[in-house]
Structure 1
Amino acid sequence: MPTSKKPISFFVHHQGRGHARRAMAIIRHFSEDRPVSVMTADPSLFDGFERAIDVIALPNMIGAAVPTQALYDQPTPSVMHCVPMGVVEMRQTMRRILDHLDGIDAGLFVIDVSAELALLSRIASVPAVSIRMHGDRNDPGHLGAYEASVAMLAPFDERLEQADYPAHLREKTFYSGGLCTTAAAVPSREEARRRLGLDPDREIVVALTGGGGAGTPYAPLTVAARAAPETLFITIGPLHLEGHETDFANLVNAGWVDNVVEYLAASDIVLASAGDNTVHEVAMLKRPYIVAPEWRYFNEQQRKAERLSELSAAVNMPAWPGDFAGWQAVLEKARGLDVEKLATLYEADAAERAARWLEATVDGLWEGAPTAAATSANAVNTAIERA
């Protein structure tokens, strides 16, 4: 369908699944006649996506070899984070991105996430929106990327923003509210337990890990099982094993499951990392939340967990207890949480709000610009006049 709307292109990091799911959640709400493309090193993340989009495969730069020691020894500029020298895959990635943006005459480049690509986009004269993430990001590289972007999109409630985020950047940030990418219907606690064959009355703690982490630490959970023998602990996703764990009857590993929402709905308490979607999924379900931040670059999850704790929306567990009393104290704090404080951080229409804002942003930036046909006609007329 012919359209005069400027295309929006996304860069989607392929680590884990969260970046791709967030992009799809937003793209679903774009106008049908909005041209959309996605650039990623793992196109399979978008397999089965119901909306017609162009998916452009990028080389996988992660772990690509630097060809010589002299190139390897070159220091990283303070305004950048990951720019090794002499890497063919990196050069090919940058060329492919620029060729694509130029080829579609992109009106907006949504970057989730890369500080360097925000700088590249500004140098290439393409307006960029950077996805805002938590963490210690007041370094020259991040600040430069934010300042190079026309705006930032924060897929969370403004109350979760960090106090050290500069005021001039907050002013150019759109807060969509808590964006959850989970599309499955949420059963009641009773119905979820019936489907899963779980005791309708027993306290259940569900511990889960997303696709971007190393797995839920299993050894500490064996201590939790002994500290709370009347509680059933269920783990979802991969486990990190030390090799010396002893299994307990009230500690069950469900592994990778397709019905994660059912397990979460069946829970009395959720123990999970501080990934963006996880936070908002637990908020959507209104469950007491023990947040166990995983290691991420720039302390992303640690800072987010701190904000959740400061808002009394979750129990921050920066270290996994190794003793009975430690687990008993954490569980008791979780039981005493007011779940409404977490629930208010979730917005059912956050993805739609983000989509509408992105479309309004690109339309506003290009309002009054000559169309491609008009530009071509002007070029022809100029050439005739000069002849």
Structure 2
Amino acid sequence: MAISKHIPPERPITILTAKPEQFESLPREAELVRLPDMIGAPSRSKALHNQATPSVLHCVPLGVDEMRDHMGIIAQTLRAIDPALFVIDVSAEIALLSRIMSVPAVTIRMHGDRSDIGHLAGYEACVGMLAPFDDAIEQDSYPDWARSRTFYTGGLCTTKDPILARDEARQRLDLPLDRSITLVIAGGGGSGTPYAPLTVAARAEPEGLWLVAGPVHREGHETDFGNLRELGWIDNLTEFLCAADRVVASAGDNTVHEIARAAKPFLCIPEWRYFDEQQAKAAELARVGAAIHLNTWPASIPEWQRALADTDGLDVSRLATLHDEEAAQKAALWLESEARRLWAN
């Protein structure tokens, strides 16, 4: 959505999606094409369901009506609108479909172990890749031939709320000026961030205040502490980021760049994702000194104290340089230049 704002107004946009409600606040006019939601849809027989997945594909069960309709609508739309470019959110299968349909495609480059034949075929099928992050945190395992065809926007953050001085943010939020404050951004994936490790963190730093934004998962044995406060879902996350002395969060794309934009010491504890996407991103952040990366949540007071000390010792400028305020505009300009280049006679 952030990129669409900068696409030239004379360039029409069509969006194919199974969740059109996500585009209600699109900053410019676009045609929305609803796709059937095929996630979890069943095959029509056990024998079809049991057929092995081809090595060049990732998720293509046989006999799934919703999948056939989903792919059929994509193919019909590509044929009808004859797009200058088809921008694909990750899917290697759709990249291959686009190439078969003779439509030039750009796929979004994401971190993770994507060295399998399916991902590589998807990269090969596309005219280029668009990476919404700084090339400083690209993985060494990403092939040179693919990297040479990838446009790195710099760190793209969809949030545009103003960055405030720490004390100003605390005054707005009625937070103490004289206490250390750690903000935990709980992930929305799965059942939420585990609450038990946060109770250990609160004990590891009893003089500090711990604020948790987002859902948490309780197992029933946790003990609450007065310096650990749940905020739930909030719509003013930037203010809390500005008020914090450090941040604990996962390695989601926008989350990382929100923290970079606020220039806060970052303890990164990735969530599970396909192809180890977040683990790979966290490892790259740690490699360039932009974050402390832990594979799992600290399970004891000494572990937390070591992790927090390491986090406080970071040079926040290394993380801050990974955010680019003009990333969305750069992405749009590159997409438009590619469309013009490919179709020039």
**TM range, normalised to the smaller chain?**
over 0.9
Q: How does 1:1-387 map to 2 (within 5 A)?
A: 24-368=1-345
* Paired AA for residue 156 in structure 2: L
1:265, CA displacement in angstroms? Answer: 1.0
Cα separation, 2, equivalents of 1:50 and 1:159:
30
1:113, CA displacement in angstroms? Answer: 2.2
1:213, CA displacement in angstroms? Answer: 4.5
Q: Deviations over 1:115-170 (max 9, x none)?
A: 10000000010000000000000000000000000000011111100001111111
**Structure 1, unaligned stretches of length 5 or more?**
1-23, 369-387
Cα separation, 2, equivalents of 1:33 and 1:230:
57
Contact 1:224 1:324 in 2 (8 A): yes
Cα separation, 1, equivalents of 2:327 and 2:25:
23
Name the larger-Rg structure.
Answer: 1
SS, match of residue 184 in structure 2: strand
* Paired AA for residue 215 in structure 1: G
List structure 1 segments (4+ residues) > 6 angstroms apart after TM superposition. Answer: none
Cα separation, 1, equivalents of 2:100 and 2:189:
31
Cα separation, 2, equivalents of 1:137 and 1:48:
32
Cα separation, 1, equivalents of 2:187 and 2:223:
24
1:238, CA displacement in angstroms? Answer: 0.7
* Paired AA for residue 217 in structure 2: H
Contact 1:290 1:315 in 2 (8 A): yes
* Paired AA for residue 272 in structure 1: A
Number of equivalenced pairs: 345
Contact 1:225 1:248 in 2 (8 A): yes
SS, match of residue 28 in structure 1: helix
Cα separation, 2, equivalents of 1:191 and 1:341:
24
Cα separation, 1, equivalents of 2:234 and 2:192:
14
TM score, norm. by length of structure 2: 0.98
Cα separation, 1, equivalents of 2:163 and 2:322:
18
Cα separation, 1, equivalents of 2:248 and 2:190:
15
Contact 2:187 2:193 in 1 (8 A): no
Cα separation, 1, equivalents of 2:189 and 2:160:
20
1:211, CA displacement in angstroms? Answer: 3.3
Q: Deviations over 1:311-354 (max 9, x none)?
A: 11100011111111000001101111000011111111011000
Q: Deviations over 1:81-122 (max 9, x none)?
A: 000000000010111111111111111100012110000000
Contact 1:207 1:216 in 2 (8 A): no
1:209, CA displacement in angstroms? Answer: 2.5
SS, match of residue 224 in structure 2: coil
Cα separation, 2, equivalents of 1:38 and 1:243:
43
1:50, CA displacement in angstroms? Answer: 2.9
TM score, norm. by length of structure 1: 0.88
* Paired AA for residue 334 in structure 1: T
Contact 1:213 1:294 in 2 (8 A): no
Contact 1:115 1:145 in 2 (8 A): yes
1:183, CA displacement in angstroms? Answer: 1.8
Contact 2:4 2:27 in 1 (8 A): no
- The sequence identity of aligned pairs, in percent, is 56
Q: Deviations over 1:43-98 (max 9, x none)?
A: 00011323111111110000001111100110000000000000000010111111
